[in-house]
């Protein structure tokens, strides 16, 4: 099947969005967490890997999409009040889906213990929802200059808070897993509801304070969306995205000297640096797909991108179900469905690293097949 030429939407944007969702599924679902290639793991703390590009790229793309979508809706006669209701509704649904993933399967399987007292409140979808809510409201009240101003203020204020606000028992300026300001805020305001696998107890990588620079990430995408709406030629738009991306990459690398690039803290340098990657990558996709018309290679990513949130939620439900379906093997060991499939279908055919990677690739392909069925039937779920 060929991808039809885009009219009121950019195929490259759908493809880029889909690539980020496929990337999330790939890095979140190895066969074994003990056997994962380094680029498919997050940086332990300071620094970055290819995996650290995925989430900020999705938020940045959301900002681009918001600009294009709201401009289209406004052109069709939608007023500010209608769009605010849309923002509130969509944010609430996405946040609710995030809580659904955190709570599933609600203790209905013997291996799963469910408790409201320990339910994780933050998460990937929750952060997406909060960023969409904040940026949607900012967009409806400001123009490009105001949006750029908001991004700068958020990044500067967050940096200042990290550097100057003292943490009780640790002082100001702490950027290690223990003693940093975002971790202290999460530990006190989200006590008992943070990620159990975080680098330090009480810290959450999608926590409260670090959502502020994530909002700035989305706003930088909004500004790129304004650039794509100009009357410049497609080639100039692609070139502008590339130049802007390289500039942000350079700026982020310079800022790293004073404020380390850190995904867990979502530092201001990380925000700028990853926005640079997102802009450069979209420039490449836009040039290849929408300018040169080379669309066939992007088909799998477009399939993911047209139902991005739905496939992400489905994948999360599937992964959790495979982990919580458990039984006792003949030797007395506890086995879950994921481990059974991994050990019998992948481990015998490759070394540990490759077997783990092949499991993750198979997971991505299975959900691509589901997305393909939805694509064929034109089932596009608009949240």
- pLDDT, one tens digit per residue, over 93-126 is 999 999 999 999 998 888 888 999 899 999 999 9
**Angle between helical axes of 268-285 and 11-28 (0-180°, round to 10):** 130
Residue 1: pLDDT band with limits 50, 70, 90:
very low
Residue 71 CB-density burial (10 A; 0-12 exposed, 13-18 middle, 19+ buried)? middle
Cα 28 to Cα 307: distance, rounded to the nearest angstrom: 18
Q: Are 83 and 67 in contact (CB under 8 A)?
A: no
What pLDDT score does 8 carry? 54
- Higher model confidence: residue 246 or residue 4? 246
Give the residue from 104, 6, 124 showing the smallest Cα distance to 55: 124
Average per-residue pLDDT in the chain?
A: 94
Taking the domains of the chain in order of start, what are their residue ranges? 53-293
Question: pLDDT tens digit string along 222-238?
Answer: 999 999 999 999 999 99
What pLDDT score does 330 carry? 81
- Higher model confidence: residue 374 or residue 382? 374
Residue 5: pLDDT band with limits 50, 70, 90:
very low
**Total-model pTM:** 0.94
First to last CA, the chain: 26
3-state helix vs strand vs coil in the chain, percent to 5 = 65, 5, 30
| Chain mean position to CA 283 | 19
Lowest mean pLDDT among 4-8, 45-49, 74-78, 297-301: 4-8
Question: pLDDT tens digit string along 241-286?
Answer: 999 999 999 999 999 999 999 999 999 999 999 999 999 999 999 9
Half-sphere exposure of 266 (CA within 13 A, CB side): 28
Whether 314 has a pLDDT exceeding 70, the answer reads yes
- Greatest CA separation for the chain: 69
Percent of the chain with pLDDT strictly greater than 90: 90
Across residues 67-76, what is the average pLDDT? 94
Question: pLDDT tens digit string along 320-367?
Answer: 999 999 988 888 788 999 999 999 999 999 999 999 999 999 999 999
Across residues 24-43, what is the average pLDDT? 96
Cα 204 to Cα 265: distance, rounded to the nearest angstrom: 9
What pLDDT score does 226 carry? 97
- Higher model confidence: residue 326 or residue 9? 326
Whether 6 has a pLDDT exceeding 80, the answer reads no
Whether 3 has a pLDDT exceeding 60, the answer reads no
What pLDDT score does 4 carry? 37
């Amino acid at each position: 099947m060929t991808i039809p030429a885009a009219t009121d939407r950019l195929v490259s944007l759908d493809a880029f969005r889909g690539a980020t969702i496929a990337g999330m599924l790939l890095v979140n679902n190895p066969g074994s967490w003990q056997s994962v290639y380094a680029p498919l793991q997050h940086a332990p703390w300071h620094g970055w890997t290819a995996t650290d590009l995925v989430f900020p790229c999705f938020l940045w793309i959301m900002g681009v999409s918001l600009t294009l979508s709201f401009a289209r809706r406004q052109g069709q006669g939608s007023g500010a009040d209608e769009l605010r209701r849309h923002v509130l509704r969509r944010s609430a649904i996405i946040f609710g889906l995030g809580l659904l993933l955190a709570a599933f399967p609600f203790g209905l399987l013997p291996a799963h213990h469910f408790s409201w007292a320990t339910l994780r409140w933050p998460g990937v979808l929750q952060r997406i929802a909060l960023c969409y809510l904040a940026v949607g409201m900012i967009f409806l009240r400001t123009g490009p200059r105001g949006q750029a101003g908001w991004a700068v203020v958020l990044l500067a204020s967050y940096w200042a808070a990290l550097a100057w606000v003292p943490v009780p028992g640790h002082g100001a300026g702490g950027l290690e897993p223990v003693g940093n300001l975002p971790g202290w805020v999460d530990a006190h305001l989200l006590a008992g509801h943070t990620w159990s696998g975080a680098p330090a107890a009480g810290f959450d990588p999608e926590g409260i304070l670090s959502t502020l620079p994530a909002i700035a990430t989305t706003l930088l995408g909004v500004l790129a969306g304004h650039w794509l709406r100009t009357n410049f030629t497609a080639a100039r738009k692609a070139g502008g995205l590339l130049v802007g991306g390289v500039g942000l990459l350079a700026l982020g690398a310079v800022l790293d000297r004073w404020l380390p690039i850190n995904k867990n803290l979502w530092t201001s340098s990380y925000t700028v640096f990853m926005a640079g990657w997102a802009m450069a990558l979209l420039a490449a996709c836009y040039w290849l797909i929408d300018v040169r018309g080379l669309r066939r290679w992007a088909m799998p990513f477009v399939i993911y991108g047209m139902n991005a949130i739905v496939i992400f939620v489905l994948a999360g439900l599937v992964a959790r179900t495979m982990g919580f379906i458990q039984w006792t093997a003949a030797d007395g060991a506890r086995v879950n469905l994921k481990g059974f499939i991994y050990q019998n279908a992948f481990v015998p055919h490759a070394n540990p690293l490759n077997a783990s990677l092949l499991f993750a690739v198979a997971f991505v392909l299975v959900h691509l097949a589901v997305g393909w069925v939805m694509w064929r039937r034109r089932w596009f779920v608009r949240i």
